[in-house]
Structure 1
């Protein structure tokens, strides 16, 4: 893994799918990547398993409003985990929409899984992208101009930024592998040593 990589995960304080946050988070941190977690509020993040059973509790490092994300922040990747409640609430947060737009307009990678791509539609950045998601989002993403497909992992480099998407927690293996592969390219594009 490339040294000096930095990632940002954005979530609400209740309802994020536990493994879709914690598996990539732990995987990246084990590889030496600094991962910050921005939530709506500074309170604990209460994860869920299968959208209903209580999962682990996680402390955020920031609130959404505290993250600048203008390209000078050093973040190489934006992680958008799913969970129906999390994603539906997150797409109504102006600060979350602002962060997605900030990452995409500055050409940085975005990795969204399960219901996470809802936020891409809300931010107006799904148009022209080939992607996947939890199947119930197909119509919303198609209506937002995306080309939806039912595959474990879909990557798209169009529009000047790299998008990684997967359907559900069962796809976390290929999802994290794709993140591993794109981080060194993102760091190199930013002109930082790896």
Structure 2
């Protein structure tokens, strides 16, 4: 989906949940997809582990922007949303993958046939949520073995969209892929709306 095509999409009435911990999320991997989705008309809800500010980072080491979450994992339900997005950041993703509530939410989206999207280190949560077996996806290259050991087919592409497993699975490798990643999420939501 090109930028021109993106500008004509209307996701009015679509609700997207973004899962993040309160520290260590890669700034652009949180803020850019949220901005694109909101610009397309979707209502985006940022859920964190705690109802405290989300302290993002740049390249895993420099302080980034502070984001106020809208809700917590415990107060969010997959039934209320049309898709879930998991940003990366090594620290964020490492904490997310062991969070039972985050795992429960991702599994619920997958079971309901709703799009699940993750970028960079975010697919660690997908592994622990049990949604990668026999699926094609990508990630930050250092996760390749983890994904393959969990039964996934890893691809070195800016965005991989796999619709073979009952729900769209959208993954990207790094911040440089965010334009394609965000466009693929918009496309999946547009397809869901039609």
Return the TM-score normalized by structure 2.
0.93
Once the two structures are superposed, the pairs formed by residues 152-191 of structure 1 within 5 Å of their partners are 152-188=158-194
- 1:108 corresponding residue in structure 2: 114
Distance 1:150 1:139 in 2: 13
Q: Deviations over 1:33-88 (max 9, x none)?
A: 1000110001100000000000000000011000121x3x1x11100000000000
- 2:156 corresponding residue in structure 1: 150
- 1:68 corresponding residue in structure 2: 77
Once the two structures are superposed, the pairs formed by residues 1-194 of structure 1 within 5 Å of their partners are 1-69=10-78, 71=79, 73=80, 75-188=81-194
Which ranges in structure 1 are unaligned for 5 or more consecutive residues?
Answer: 189-194
- SS at 1:160's partner residue? coil
The alignment of Structure 1 onto Structure 2 pairs a total of residues equal to 185
Give the alignment's Cα RMSD to 1 decimal: 0.8
- SS at 1:159's partner residue? coil
Q: CA deviation at 1:143?
A: 0.5
Q: Deviations over 1:115-163 (max 9, x none)?
A: 0000010011110110000000000000000000111111100111001
Do the aligned residues in 2 keep the contact of 1:76 with 1:187 (CA within 8 Å)? no
Distance 1:156 1:145 in 2: 14
- 1:192 corresponding residue in structure 2: none
- Tell me which stretches of 4 or more aligned residues in structure 1 moved more than 4 Å: none
Distance 2:183 2:156 in 1: 18
- SS at 1:79's partner residue? strand
